[in-house]
Each structure stands twice: as C-alpha cells, then as structure tokens.
Amino acid sequence: MKTEIIFGIHPVFEAIRAGHRQVAEIYISRDSKNKRLGELKTFAESKQISVKQIQPQALDSMVQGQRHQGIAAKATHYNAFGREKIDILLEKKGPIFLLLLDGIVDTQNFGALIRTGLCAGVDLIVTAKDRAAPLSPTVSFASAGAMEHAVISKVTNIAETVLELKKHETWVAGLDAGTKQSLYKTDLTGRLALVIGGEEKGIRPLVKNRCDFLVKIPQKADFNSLNASAAGAVAMFEAFRQRQQ
C-alpha cells in the first residue's frame, strides 16, 4: 500500500481516531516540550502504533519544510470515495446536505471548506478528480484534521453530478456574488446541494446553468467578495441554522 507523511498534531491524532487509513509509525521531535505530543504518544501506543523520537532536522526534512508542530506520521494515502457514496445518500429519504466544490484548487481553501462542512452537518463533500486540490497532507493540516473524518467523493464531472442530484429531488443552489437572490431569503432546508466555485472564476458556466437557483451573500458595495472558504462557511452555516429550526 502506498504511504505518505502527514504532519501536525490534529491531523495525526484525527487520522488515528478516524481509522479511515492505516497509521504505520509516528515521529516526534526530540527537542519538543509540547505536552500534547506526550498525550498523543500515549494514545498512539495504546493503538499499538510505533512511536520514534527523531532529531528536529530529520523531521524538518521528512515534511519538506512544512509547519509540523513537532510531529509527523507515516500513513496510507487518504483515498476518496467514488460515485457509490452519492448513490447511497440519494437513496435516503428525507433531508440531505451535500457540498459540491467546482474547481477549488487552493489547498488552504479546500481544507477550510472541509472543516466547515464537517462542523455544519454536511453529509457528503463532492469534488472533481481533475482540476481540483488533491486530498493531501497539506489539506489535512489546513482542515485541522477534519479531512480524516469527512466523507469525500471524487467524480469525473461535477456538471453531470448536478443533473443526477436533480433527478433525485435534490435542490442545487450555487453561490454566486453576481446574482440578486439573497442567501438569507432562500429556503436551504430539505434535500440540498450547495455548489461553491473556484477561487478566481467562481462556478463554471455549465455547472451554474444547471443549478436550480443561485444565491449571494449580501455585503457592502464597492468591495471584493469573500474568498471561497469564507463565503462557503457563511452559506453552510446559514443552511445549518435553517435546518436546526
């Protein structure tokens, strides 16, 4: 099985806790005095995972200069699910909540959106196999380990996925700063798929045309719109608020 090096306290801890992938070995910097690393070491050893203390320079080299917080781990690659998770969810009766990411390539935005989605009750995150940020250790770090718990599917074509969702009585809402309909005056309950577009161009035209409706986040005029992760957070938590009532 292919392995990679994940890093950071939250990603390593959550990878062990989630059990989505196998953690083979953990490496802790010899000079670290962080008490949380000691707690994580105890937790890892309780799961029969080998823990090694190594020189700080060796750890820096292992993660290629990333901010590792004194810890890294060798783990199997995070494998996204495929179309099967979408099919299973669509068979469910009643409300569902999906997040579709159309062209999110920035790892920080991707990680932040995954983290928010997990906190806002998103059932499934869907991203494209190509022209999208990979499910990498950097994304796991940016998500504070949320990626390890999130249910994420990769599909070949987001636009075709939108059509399939609509066939199963799921409303598809695209977040678009150029539309007139306010997010706060829109029903976001029931069977909903929220589409967030890429950082530069937003939702692609074909995907946008296939959405049932477009919504915007009201804001003061004469200023740039929020970036993808911030806008996505506002929209997801508005949906979460409505769905709690």
Q: Can you give the residue ranges of every domain in the chain?
A: 3-76, 83-244
pLDDT averaged over the chain?
Answer: 94
Class of domain 83-244 (CATH, top level): alpha beta
CB of 62 closer than 8 Å to CB of 27: yes
Fold match, 3-76 / 83-244: no
**For 211-215, what is the mean pLDDT?**
97
pLDDT at position 96 over 90? yes
- Does the pLDDT at position 206 exceed 70? yes
Mean pLDDT value across residues 162-176? 96
Provide mean pLDDT across the span 142-155.
97
At residue 4, does pLDDT exceed 90? yes
Which of 154, 145, 153, 149 has its CA nearest to residue 20? Answer: 149
Tokens 């070995």 sit at which residue? 25
Q: Return the half-sphere exposure (C-beta side, CA atoms, 13 A cut-off) of residue 84.
A: 3
- At residue 69, the 3 state secondary structure works out as coil
- Measured distance CA(237)–CA(7) in Å, rounded: 28
Instruction: Using the predicted structure, report yes or no on whether residue 14 has a pLDDT greater than 70.
Output: yes
Per-residue pLDDT at 33: 76
User: What is the rounded CA–CA span in Å between residue 197 and residue 159?
Assistant: 12
pLDDT value at 225 more than 90: no
User: Considering the domain 3-76 in this protein, what is its CATH number?
Assistant: 3.30.1330.30
222 pLDDT more than 70: no
The region of weakest confidence among 4-18, 59-73, 79-93, 153-167 is 59-73
